[in-house]
Amino acid sequence: MKKNLIFAQSGGPTSVINASCYGIISEAKKYGIKIFAAKFGVEGILKDNLINMTDIDENDLNLLKFSPSAAFGSCRHKLENEDFQKISETFDKYQIGYFLCIGGNDSMDTAHRLSEHMKKTGRDISIIGIPKTIDNDLTNTHFCPGYGSAAKFIATNVREMALDAEVYDKNIVTIVEVMGRDSGFLAAAGALAKDEIVDSPHLIYLPEVPFEKDSFLSDVERVFKNMGKVFIVTSEGLKDKSGNYAHLREAKADAFGNIQMGGIGRYLEHLVNQNISKRVKVIELSIIQRCAAHTVSQVDNDTAVMVGKTGVDKIMNGVSDIMISIRKTDKGFEPGAVPLSQVANHTKPFPLEWIDNKNRWVTKEAIDYMLPLIQGQVKVPYVNGLPKYIRFI
């Protein structure tokens, strides 16, 4: 008897995680098996909360390809050993033989430990990881689906905000805070905004470089004097030399006082206000940068579909305990495979050699790496002037 397939979404959503689900479902249909989705990630498996997607309507499947967020829900549940038994029971009940787990490095760890458990308990369950994260911090893959679209959104909006910020002939400091607690890939994407018309951003701050207040202020002062305005892109996760978040340390020091710290953007504003200029604008891109599906990168969407499809083909052909990776070739981006153990719990920082510390900028290598990931505009289905999306929770 044929065994069935289940997939689960995990961790923070992206604009293209559902494109991977589209890839999984459309490919798995070819094998004539039942296809289940776990609701709210592995919690759905633990709680026997599944959706049978085998007979999904073609139109809904197409909408899924372009919908943001996690259409089946997600969770941040870290699997304990006692969870494994419950998962096995659900798998037995639905005759699951194939499990695809879409997520970042935490999820790859979950997938790997579960795979080990299945082997140990003699169950014939294949498990494959599908990469997903806007942070782009998974190792052993050229990039992670989700990053390309977030990078495109950040670059596009930084370019547009830079034009807006310079509309008055007056000094202003603009600070854009983007995601990335430990990884600078997202902030680095701000560099793509610069062209022969837009000379912003002027300064980019990444979590890979320890934040120093004095050097920050001298950077800002230098640009302010030269250009009459400053446009800064910063990762949310700047840390000092000791590894503490820069903005939290200051907030603590000021615990009796008047300032309720927000994120790093507000902290940098505070520093500029105190030392250089009162005219500061802070924009936090917040969750918009990971869910703006109306402006997804075609390359990113295509690659997200590809890793989903490849995951199905590999798992149906007996491969297990790997994550589908992405390789850059002359022909474009192609799928590869890497043992789950090699990606589980590892993170890839933004390469230090791509950081130009003197100019607070990134190197040409970094630009050349990022540009191919943001190419092409997806044709999202529009109904009555707005993008039409779907979800199943």
By CB under 8 A, name the binding residues for a second copy: 12-13, 39-40, 43, 67-70, 73-76, 152, 155-157, 159-161, 163-169, 192-193, 195, 197-198, 258-260, 262, 281, 283-284, 286-288, 290-295, 297, 371, 374-377, 382, 384-391, 393
Residue 171 amino acid letter: N
**Minimum CB distance to a second copy, residue 251 (Å):** 11
What three-state secondary structure class fits 349? coil
**Minimum CB distance to a second copy, residue 196 (Å):** 10
Inter-residue contact 169 to 363 (CB < 8 Å) = no
Is the four-CA dihedral 50, 51, 53, 59 of positive or negative sign? negative
Nearer to a second copy, 283 or 319 (CB): 283
Residue ranges in 228-363 assigned as alpha helix (H): 246-253, 264-275, 288-291, 298-316, 340-343
Euclidean distance between CA atoms 358 and 99, whole angstroms = 47
Neighbours of 365 (CB within 10 A): 11
**Minimum CB distance to a second copy, residue 334 (Å):** 20
**Minimum CB distance to a second copy, residue 299 (Å):** 8
**Minimum CB distance to a second copy, residue 248 (Å):** 15
**Minimum CB distance to a second copy, residue 271 (Å):** 15
Nearer to a second copy, 163 or 352 (CB): 163
**Minimum CB distance to a second copy, residue 75 (Å):** 6
Nearer to a second copy, 109 or 284 (CB): 284
Nearer to a second copy, 17 or 125 (CB): 17
Contacts of 213 (CB under 8 A, 6+ apart): 246, 271
Nearer to a second copy, 12 or 23 (CB): 12
Using the structure block, give the residue that is written with the tokens 């200029």.
277
The closest alpha carbon to 7, from 262, 359, 309, 344, belongs to 309
Neighbours of 54 (CB within 10 A): 15
Q: Which residues are catalytic?
A: 135
Nearer to a second copy, 66 or 224 (CB): 66
Q: What tokens appear for 185 in the block?
A: 């890939």
Task: Kindly give the pairing relationship between strand 355-356 and strand 361-362.
Answer: antiparallel
Nearer to a second copy, 40 or 99 (CB): 40
Q: Determine if residue 179 is left, alpha or beta; phi over 0 gives left, psi from -120 to 50 gives alpha, anything else beta.
A: beta
Euclidean distance between CA atoms 42 and 210, whole angstroms = 36
Using the structure block, give the residue that is written with the tokens 């390309």.
148
Euclidean distance between CA atoms 354 and 184, whole angstroms = 11
Inter-residue contact 204 to 188 (CB < 8 Å) = yes
How many residues comprise the chain? 393
Euclidean distance between CA atoms 313 and 299, whole angstroms = 21
Residue 304 amino acid letter: A
Nearer to a second copy, 224 or 389 (CB): 389
Longest Cα–Cα distance in the chain: 74
Q: What tokens appear for 309 in the block?
A: 């499809």
**Minimum CB distance to a second copy, residue 379 (Å):** 10
